[in-house]
Structure 1
Amino acid sequence: MSTTSSPYRGYRFPAEIINQAVWLYHCFSLSLREVELILAARGVVVSYETIREWSLRFGRTYANSLKRRRPKPDDKWFLDEVFVRIRGKLHYLWRAVDQHGNVLDVLVQSRRNKKAAMRFFRKLLKGLCYVPRVIVTDKLGSYGAAKREILPGVEHRRSRYLNNRCEVSHQSTRRPERHMRRFKSVRQAQQFLATHTPIHNHFQLRRHRLSASEYRTARDRAFTTWRDATGTALVG
């Protein structure tokens, strides 16, 4: 981002503070008040409502920038859906990950029928602009019906056990959902998760598969990409 059109222009706090607040909120699944406390310990006095505004104003921009910079996902995709309650009504969070656990996209819908599955497939393919070699799902019939129309040439594996990789990825959603005392609307849920997922996912580096030096290198690379994506690479 150029200095002449900086998105941080006019804000009382510098870009580094805004960047840090949004990063803490989404990377560690903290509550707004917990982020406020962490910043206060560092001498930054800012209210949790301001942090909320920063997250709404900059979070989606950060997330989209990270998505543009991420490497091309692998060709084996895992799809799954879990229920979320919004104002007492049951909805479904659809999620797709690649074979390394990188989240590809999420979508909140009120149903999990064929129409809902097709809508998720179209959103997923529009964002990635290519088709996978294999998709892995549970035995929900909606996946097969949608796949036959939208991805007829793609191999489809169905099993309640093969899809554990995607089911585990939902855990990062449950923690902030509890902090927020459940989502207040479908729009709020979709907006938050579309921001939270890419940011949280960007810093999940599969440390258990890396040596200490490899992990530090991957972590430094992740922070470099983060600073570039948030327009703070030249600040320091």
Structure 2
Amino acid sequence: MIDFKGAHYPKSVILYAVYFYVRYGVSYRDLEEIMAERGVSVDHATLNRWVVKYSPLAARAAQKRKANTAESWRMDETYIKVRGEWVYLYRAVDRNGQTLDFMLSEKRDTKAAKRFFANALSNNGLPKRITIDKSRSNAAGIKEVNKIFKRLQIPVKIGTVRSKYLNNIIEQDHRFIKRLTRPMLGFKSFASAAATLAGIETANMIRKGQLGSSTSGFRQFAGLAG
């Protein structure tokens, strides 16, 4: 359950603003106008604070509630600009395109890949295989995870497949994320970028039906607050 204690606006107003921002890709100035049209006077700085504070909490709840995913994964990273510099958004989906996990990293190396895989395994269980591109660091990250399994005497080895064709599904999925970040006019800090992207990924999971499809997207997002 997300705690709204101390908030000066109703919970429903906050959730509506956060969901609208991460789902439809508008600037904070535009969102300020949209909220005013609905009779809510709130400045863009406050809207930013809401997104940064509540998006990661919603993402955490979504990870726990999402439907089971397939054991064949597709993993890749894409570029996001923060403070005028490119950073790396690690992402993984299953063979059906369902979102598994994501992580923003300032570096693209074996250490970052290992950290991403560790989080993804913790949240989604063990896959039979992971399809990657020709990235050496991603292959090394999987190798490091397998070494840990061997050292702990866990009789599991994750298979690695290198295939650009099979990874088309995640490259297409990147486009939805990039389309939403484009109107946001760039991120001013790594922390705000990571928080906002967590909200965008959550909205993407809802769009895919990973949290159920019996109610509207906003109702599903609001439901994550408990």
| TM-score, structure 1 normalization | 0.79
More deviation, 118-127/158-167: 118-127
Deviation at 1:221, TM superposition (A): 7.0
Task: Name the CA shift for 1:179/1:74 in 2 (closer, same or farther; >3 Å).
Answer: same
Question: What does 1:28-43 align with in structure 2 at a 5 Å threshold?
Answer: 28-43=24-39
2:57 maps to amino acid: T
2:78·2:90 contact (CA, 8 Å) conserved in 1? Answer: yes
2:92–2:100 CA contact under 8 A, matched in 1: yes
Partners in 2 of 1:42 and 1:88 — Cα distance? Answer: 34
Q: Which runs of 5+ in 2 are unaligned?
A: 147-155
Question: How far off its partner does 1:22 sit?
Answer: 1.0
Question: How many Å apart are 1:9 and its aligned residue?
Answer: 3.8
Q: Which moved more, 1:218-227 or 1:73-82?
A: 218-227
Q: Which residue does the alignment assign to 1:218?
A: 213
2:54 corresponding residue in structure 1: 58
Identity of aligned residues (%): 31
1:140-180 CA-to-partner distances (Å, cap 9, x unmatched) read 12222222231462222211221011111212332343233
Q: Select the residue among 97, 103, 110 that pairs with 2:106.
A: 110
Residue 160 of structure 1 corresponds to 164
1:88 and 1:58, CA in 2 relative to 1: closer, same or farther beyond 3 A?
closer
Greater relative contact order (Cα < 8 A, sep 6+):
2
- CA-based RMSD: 2.5
| Cα distance in 2 between the residues matched to 1:187 and 1:8 | 21
- The gaps in structure 1 that reach 5 residues or longer are 207-216, 232-236
Determine which of 137, 141, 146 is the counterpart of 1:142: 137
Is residue 2:90 matched to residue 1:94?
yes
Count of matched residue pairs = 216
Distance in 2 of aligned mates of 1:61 and 1:23: 13
Letter aligned with residue 4 of structure 2: Y
Q: Whole-Å Cα distance in 1 between the matches of residues 202 and 183 of structure 2?
A: 19
> Contact 1:31/1:176 (CA < 8 Å) preserved in 2?
no
Change (3 A) 1:90 1:66: closer
Shift of 1:135: 1.0
